[in-house]
Amino acid sequence: MITYVCLGILILFVAVKSAVYMKHRKYTPSSDDLDLTLLSLINPKSERHD
Amino acid sequence: MTKKRAVTFKPYNKTRYAYEKLRVCRHCQQFTVLWEDECSQCGKSTLVPVRQRVTSKVKRTMLNERLIALFIGLVAIYFGQTFLQMILSAAAAILLIALLWFVQRKMLPFEVPLEMETLFEQEQPRIIEDIKRNRKLAVAALKDDELLTYEMLREIATLVQNDKIRLQQVVLLQSFVLRKDMDLAIEPLLIDSFDTDLAAYIGEVAKVQRELIKNSSIRYILAYEAHILEMEHGIEILSSVAAAAIRLKKYVEAYPEFIRRYARNIPKDRFLRLYRMIQQHPDAYWGNLAEEVAIIRREQYEWDSDFQ
Ligand SMILES: [Zn+2]
C-alpha cells in the first residue's frame, strides 16, 4: 500500500515540478529585459541627471 | 589649464549586456563591477559573473529535487510487498527521475534568467551599496593616478548611468592627450545640459576620431552652439565637428546650415571632400551650403589644382 502511495506522490511531485518549470519558461526574461531591469534598479529615475 | 598627459588605456572589455560586468563573490556575496581578481571584502579569489553564480545555484536546486524524488522512490521500493512489486517500483522511480532530469535540463536556460531577475530584485540595495564602494575606490585613486580612476569609472559607468559619472569621466578625459588609437566614445557620455568640458571633449574627438561624430553629438553641439561660441576655443570646436560631419553625405544633408556656418574654418582636405560631394550630387538638397562652398572655393582655393 505504502509503495503505491509513494509512487503516487512521486508522480505528483514530478508532474508539479514539470508544470512549474513550464510556467517559468513563459515568464523568463530575455537578456535585454535583464539589462533593463538591472539598470533601472541601479539607476532610480530621480538620480539620472545628478 | 594644466598640461595634458599622454596615457594608454587598459583595454576595455565591452560586454554585449551590461549585467555581464557584474560579478559576485561566492564566499561573501559582495558585488563588484571592477576587474579585481580578489574580492575586496574577504580577499578570496572567488569572484564569478552573476550568471555563473546563478547557474550553479539553479543546478543545485535541481539536484535537490532529484534527490527528493530518489528518496520517495527508495521508500516505495523499500515498502514493496513482493519482489516483483519492488522491481516495478524501481523501474517506475527510475523512469520518473529520468523524466524530471530531462525536463530540468531542457528548462535550465529559462530558469537561469528568471533566477537572475529575482536576484537583482532581492539584492538591489546591496548591489547599489557595493557599486558605491567601487566608486569610492575609484575616486580615492584620483590623487595618485587619474588614469586608473578613469578606467575604473569607465567600468562602473556601464551600470551606473547618471550625468555625474559621465562628467567625471569627461573631466578626466580632458586631462589626457587624446589619440586616434584610443578606445574613446561620445554617445555614452552625452548629458542633457550644457557643459564646457563635454563640448571641448567632443571638439577634440572630432579631430582625432571623426567616425565617433554621429547624429547625437552633432545635435548636442547644435543645441548649445551659442554657449560654445562664448568659449575660448568655441569656433574651433564647432569647426572640428562640422569637419567631422562631412565624413558622411547623410550628415551634410541633415545639417547643411550648420556646416555652412563653419565651412570657412575647416581644413583643406575636409573642404575638398565637401566640394566634391556637392559636385557629384548637384540635385541633392544643400540649401545655401552649395553657394557658400562655391564662394569659399573662389576666395581660398581659386588656383588650387585639387579643385579643378
Ligand atoms: Zn568576498
Cell readout for B220 is 548636442
pLDDT at residue B291 tops 70: yes
DSSP state of B12: P
Q: Is B241 within 8 Å of B213 (Cβ atoms)?
A: yes
Q: Kindly state the percentage of chain B with pLDDT values over 70.
A: 99
Summarize the confidence of residues B49-70 as an average pLDDT.
97
Average pLDDT, integer, range B252-268: 94
> Which chain A residues contact residue B90 at CB under 8 A?
none
- Mutation to test the A interface, candidates B70, B85, B100, most A Cβ within 10 Å: B100
Q: Is the predicted ipTM greater than 0.90, yes or no?
A: yes
Decide: helix, strand or coil at residue B217.
helix
B162-218 tens-digit pLDDT: 999 999 999 999 999 999 999 999 999 999 999 999 999 999 999 999 999 999 999
For residue B281, the 8-state DSSP code is -
CA distance B180 to B17: 26
State the pairing for strand pair B31-32/B47-49. Answer: unpaired
Work out the burial of residue B106: count CB atoms within 10 Å of its CB; fewer than 13 is exposed, 13-18 middle, 19 or more buried: middle
Angle between helices B215-223 and B234-245 (to 10 degrees): 150
Q: Which pLDDT belongs to residue A50?
A: 67
Q: At which residue does the C-alpha cell 575660448 appear? A: B232
| Cβ proximity of A35 and B123 under 8 Å | no
CA dist., res. B231 & res. B168, Å (int):
20
What pLDDT is stored for residue B301 in this prediction? 87
Q: Write the CB contacts of B263 (distance below 8 Å, at least 6 apart in sequence).
A: B242, B271, B274, B289, B292, B293, B296
Handedness of CA A7, A9, A15, A20 (dihedral sign): negative
CA distance A24 to chain B (A): 7
Mutation target vs A (from B54, B162, B195; most A CBs, 10 A cutoff): B162
Q: Which three cell numbers stand for residue B45?
A: 579569489
Give the Cα separation of B47 and B116 in Å (integer). 16
pLDDT average, residue stretch B43-57: 96
- Indicate the DSSP class of residue B138: H
Q: Nearest residue of A to residue B20 by CA position?
A: A35
Higher pLDDT, A48 or B41: B41
For chain B, what are the domain ranges?
A: 21-141, 178-307
Are A14 and B18 inside 8 Å of each other by CB? no
**pLDDT in the model for residue B285:** 84
Residue A45 has a pLDDT of 78
Residues of chain B found within 8 Å of residue A15, distances taken between Cβ atoms:
none
**B215-258 pLDDT per residue, tens:** 999 999 999 999 999 999 999 999 999 999 999 999 999 999 99
- The order of strands in the sheet holding B31-32 is B31-32, B23-25, B47-49
**Residue B1, pLDDT score:** 53
Q: What is the mean pLDDT of residues B254-282?
A: 93
CA dihedral B149, B152, B154, B159 (to 10 degrees): -140
What's the average model confidence in pLDDT over B267-273? 93
Task: Specify the amino acid at residue B286.
Answer: W
Distance CA B149, CA B173 (A): 11
Among candidates B217, B293, B301, B307, which has minimal Cα distance to B254? B217
CA–CA gap between residue B246 and residue B210 (Å, rounded): 9
pLDDT given for residue B284 in this prediction: 84
Residue B37 confidence class, pLDDT cut points 50, 70, 90: very high
Minimum Cα–Cα distance from A6: chain B residue: B76
- Chain Cα centroid distance, residue B228: 27
Closest CA to B36 of B151, B196, B168: B151
The three cell numbers of residue B12 are: 576595455
Band (B287; pLDDT cuts 50, 70, 90): confident
Q: Show the DSSP H helices in chain B as ranges.
A: 50-78, 83-122, 124-140, 146-156, 163-173, 196-208, 215-223, 225-229, 234-245, 249-254, 256-262, 268-280, 289-300
DSSP letters, A19-47, are HHHHHHHHHPPPHHHHHHHHHHHHS-GGG
Q: Is A6–B117 a contact, with Cβ atoms under 8 angstroms apart? A: no
Chain B residues 163-192 within an 8 A CB cutoff of chain A: 163-164, 191-192
Low-confidence ranges of chain A (pLDDT < 70): 50
Identity at B195, one-letter amino acid code: D
pLDDT > 80? residue B2: no
